[in-house]
Structures are given as structure tokens and as C-alpha cells.
Amino acid sequence: MRAVVQRVLSSSVTVDGKTVGSINAGVNILLGVHQNDTPAQAQWLAEKIAHLRIFEDDAGKMNKSLRDVGGSALVISQFTLYGDCEKGRRPSFTQAAGPGPAKALYQSFMEALKAWDVPVEAGIFQADMKVSILNDGPVTVIVDTPAVKEKTEPVMTDENPLGLRSKEWIRFQKEAEQLKRNLLLRKKQGRKNG
């Protein structure tokens, strides 16, 4: 999952000219769901955002969380956060979860956030929404769930011609070195015996 978290003085969302969600001080969360996401990631992300220290204390330092300041959250579904713009001019959204799984995890995330005593407002899933955000600071952070980062595809290079992930490549190199040593040792023993 990917969340763009904005500290706000106020935020609201309208659908067909009607306000469907509105908060005062707190965070606006644009939430994208990846095709490999699970409910565990929704729980992890909710806990992370509820405790993220992006609010100022009396000394002006960002030491307080959403829970500490009694702030609210306005959560907006945003599949375009997984738009891949690397090739061509039109983003590809193949990494984003389909509507069914995405909606279930979107709702799961909001329920998990509520479980941390955060008041939650929301947009309407798959609706054409107009979002008003009065960013405070401005403070904006992007939070990715760890599992999505781990699923990025390894790249084949001259140093890593098999395209293995870093840990796998290191293990492969160690095993290859051990095989070389074993072969050299056998050759030496063969010469002595011959």
C-alpha cells in the first residue's frame, strides 16, 4: 500500500457537488492499493500513520502524532498512486489492485485507523471526487508498506547477470566460490595421488 499523508488544517471531499467527508485539523490520506497487498499491510499502515510524528510540539519540533493531537483523517482512494510513468506518456496502472480487492483493503485500512481512536472521514470509492486540502506547513510524506518494496523486481546487470535479489546473489557468489575452492582442492589431491 502507498499513502500520501498531508498534514492539514482542514480537508473535504465532494461528489456531485455534495460534501461526503470533511475534517478540521489532522491528515488527508491519499491511499493506493497494490495488487499484492494484504490485510496485514492495511493494519501496518494504519498503525504507522496513527503514530507518525508529523505534528509540532510546544518547541516547534515534529514530535507529536495524529493521536497525540486528537486529529482526524480524511481517506481518499487513489489507484493512480501506482501509475508507472517510466515508459511512454500514458501511465500504466497494472500494479494497482483491481476494484474488488482494493475496496476491501481500503475499508480495512480505515477500520484499522479507527481502532487507534482516530476519527475517520472518507470519500466514495471509485467516484469522481473533488478534494479540497488546506495543507499545513506544508508537510507531506509518502509511506509505503515494506512488503511492496520487497516485491520490486531485481535488475540484471554485469555484476548480477542472473537478476537475483541482493541476498540471493550474495549467497550464489559464496556457493560459487566454495565450489571453486573444492575443485582446486580436488585437483591438488589428484596430483599428489598421481
Question: What cell does 27 get?
Answer: 491528515
Residue matched to cell numbers 487507534: 116
CB atoms within 10 A of CB 80: 11
> How far is it between the farthest Cα atoms of the chain?
92
* Active-site option among 80, 126, 157, 189: 80
Map residue 91 onto helix, strand or coil. Answer: coil
- Return the residue matching grid coordinates 495543507: 135
Active site residue 126: no
Rg over alpha carbons for the chain, rounded to the nearest Å, is 24
Cell 470509492 sits on residue: 125
Q: Distances from the Cα of 78 to the Cαs of 106, 116, 140, 155, 192, in angstroms?
A: 10, 22, 16, 28, 70
Catalytic site residue from 55, 79, 95, 145: 79
| List of residues 6+ apart from 134 with CB closer than 8 A | 8, 9, 10, 11
Which of 6, 41, 78, 145 is the catalytic position? 78
Alpha carbons 47 and 160: distance in angstroms, whole number: 37
Catalytic residue check, 79: yes
Catalytic residue set: 78-80
